[in-house]
Chain A
């Protein structure tokens, strides 16, 4: 009685857990539904927007366009006024107290424009193309970075009346400049990847070096922190004392050219826009919480209170609610928990179900008992199998399954990957590179196997036939010694030997008067594949040599004596006694060579890269290019699968023939 009650409890628990599992899955699904947080605003200039500004007092939004116009909109998105410059408006700085906007234009002028009327109050001729401007809070000074070309750039400081206070020339391009928080110093970024802090006299106070050209610099929310954008899309966050306090990079499968970066009002999120129109949002933990692709180059990012405005080279001004960013942050945190729960709940449900059924319960007990009893071997094997699961079994599984999908750089998420049947295998035939590769591979296989069957056998036999033990040892050592040259070095050395002018081969030919035989060995489609095959002359493979030698010395001495007594010639002994006795070794070397040659493409990659044209293409190289350069992962997997099958068939045929012989 008591027992059945217990079972019932387990049963109820199972139901509860099952319900929990279902609800977590549903919840996960809901949360994962991508909400597009980028919304349009009513502001539409019908031009190509290039920069943004905002007046907090009267809630005026300013849009500088690529088409020489500066437009002002009120709270209801009605056009207040517009004014015209002679070039694209690059940067806007608003001073709400003084009711002016400072507009840096690529026509070399900084315009001081009345915020309410659009009237030009001042214009400063910088005499150079303007890249960035900054203005002190009180409006006393205007800081401009401007340049004539990439190697001739200036940082200029003007008074509000347009008087030049200081002119600092630089030999690097400066795309971003900003005052420090106390407005006594200047921080700027250049195209050499340097973030530099100077005082107003140009004295360098500090410097940070980054990896790429820097394209933008922004002060995070009037704080003492700055964010600098690198051209590859990564960013660095620094404080005023030039300490690097953070950095990150958007996750993307595309090569992007970063254009602009901004932060939300709290400085909690970094927003990066690129030339290609990509918009990435990262939080301060460096998690990418959002990415999207707009139609046009992102040109401006500005945060106002709870909203982030974004301009791109189109008429529409877009906005993101920072509340929605926090929501996404929370979702990401939740997602991790849910993922864990999605595993834990079903497992627990299954467990309690087993506990609810008497038979299953007994089995479970028994399994638990044996597992516990043998826990040590299992624990010892745990690291091995963890590694194998992550780095061997998973890749094999992915390779075999995704060979039949359109998996690529552009279709990289589970939702995008689609089953395409045998398409990838059809591409192999239709594109032709694979077939060309097969032809070359066949040639390399034939000669590779010939090489392994001739010289190493001969050398092993020669050393074996020597009389003195010392002699044997010395020669064996010397024949194996070249093995210490790393494969890559040996390949590069052969590239040197094939060099048309100072290569050994052409030099020798020149020396003996056979200039007409000189060739550009690796650069000629007719000779390149032969040059690759000939590489490694005289083909003494250390491994094969040692294996054959091992075979020879294990031949029964009495057998040799017997054949000698019979008066057989050395030649005959070699053919009918010694060679058959090392057939196992020979067979093994054939298999190893076969497997090695089918897979190897590093020497082709180094020597010719598959060229000239496609004359030295091999399937392995095609696989490598597709996996790395072209990002056609599915196709690369299909190639791998075909090569795997090829290797299997070859190995099985070889084993079969061995079985027959035995």
Chain B
């Protein structure tokens, strides 16, 4: 009798859990669903009949939005890819040096990098903005890539150092005795062995750089060089209330690259965050 009630309780509990989770899920997806619906509606449909489902799909919205935004999307792809690649390389390189090599001043240099973790972006925003002009790279892609890489490598180096410290030192030692140069050890051994952490860095940095809005807004002036996040904002201001469908289609378009990235690496991302990220 008792056993039965427990079972019943558990089943009803599971049902309640599922229902509550489902409700939350639904609420969380409202903006996304709304986005998808609005993106295929014409302006007239949106204004006159907000609640109707789109009977006629206005794919023209996408034509217009993509036509406007594709140059900026290409810019983003190029800049984000270059920046991510360099960041990852420098992270692996720095992580390897701090984890596996010994040299005078190592602790000092490592602390110098660690200290930067404490520095918030707002502190350096103003000087960085004026320095872009001093360095003569204002309104060029370098103004995005170099500060991104410089700041992004800090966390990357810390992650790689922790990960590579766990790699067996003897392997590197014996390779060194066999006459393997440090560069070769880095590229042929350390990097292949650290693939999981490097993949995490790649995904993390790609999402970071892709999402950046304020810095491109400040550092890039010409729309032809601008990245998608700022371009979508400009597009939104321009389309305004005149063409909401295209505007929202633009939103969807800007979401697609991250969706593709996420669907390919979701497991990696979720596992990385649920397991190792926090240990106190």
Contact = CB atoms under 8 A, between A and B. Distances in A.
A28 interface: no
Interface in A458-484: 458-459, 462-463, 465-467, 471, 475-484
23 contacts: A380-B93, A380-B101, A381-B94, A384-B157, A391-B147, A392-B154, A402-B127, A462-B21, A466-B17, A485-B258, A486-B254, A486-B258, A489-B35, A494-B31, A496-B248, A497-B34, A538-B28, A602-B213, A623-B122, A623-B125, A644-B119, A647-B120, A648-B118
Interface stretch (A123-131, A183-191, A273-281, A371-379): A371-379
Contact of A537 (B27, B104, B210, B273): B27
A251 B252 CA distance: 40
A481 to B, nearest CB: 7
A387 interface: yes
Interface stretch (B57-65, B162-170, B193-201, B228-236): B228-236
Contact of A624 (B17, B125, B210): B125
Nearest to B121: A599
B141 interface: no
Contacts of B14: 466-467
Given A497-B31, A643-B122, A476 B211 contact: no
Given A384-B153, A481-B262, A538-B24, A396 B278 contact: no
A246 interface: no
B116 interface: yes
B140 interface: no
A446 to B, nearest CB: 20
A15 B186 CA distance: 46
A250 interface: no
Given A383-B90, A467-B14, A570-B13, A488 B211 contact: yes
B255 interface: yes
A595 interface: yes
Contact of B28 (A396, A402, A482): A482
Interface in A478-511: 478-490, 492-494, 496-497, 501-502, 504, 507, 511
Contacts of B277: 547, 550
Given A482-B29, A643-B120, 5 more contacts: A398-B127, A471-B18, A547-B278, A550-B273, A624-B214
Contacts of B20: 462
A343 interface: no
Given A395-B131, A484-B262, A455 B24 contact: yes
A553 interface: yes
Interface string B241-280: 0001000100100110011011000100110011101111
Interface of A: 370, 374, 376-378, 380-381, 383-385, 387-388, 390-392, 394-396, 398-400, 402, 412, 455, 458-459, 462-463, 465-467, 471, 475-490, 492-494, 496-497, 501-502, 504, 507, 511, 537-538, 540, 543, 546-547, 549-551, 553, 570, 584-585, 588, 595, 598-599, 601-602, 605-606, 620, 623-624, 626-628, 633, 636-637, 639-641, 643-644, 647-648, 651
B124 A640 contact: yes
A588 B278 contact: yes
Given A378-B103, A466-B17, A549-B274, A482 B32 contact: yes
A550 B214 contact: no
B68 interface: no
B94 A553 contact: no
A384 B119 contact: no
B84 to A, nearest CB: 15
B25 interface: yes
Contacts of A626: 126
Given A462-B17, A602-B214, A392 B124 contact: yes
B177 interface: no
B79 to A, nearest CB: 15
Contacts of A398: 127, 130-131
Given A378-B103, A606-B233, A624-B125, A507 B28 contact: no
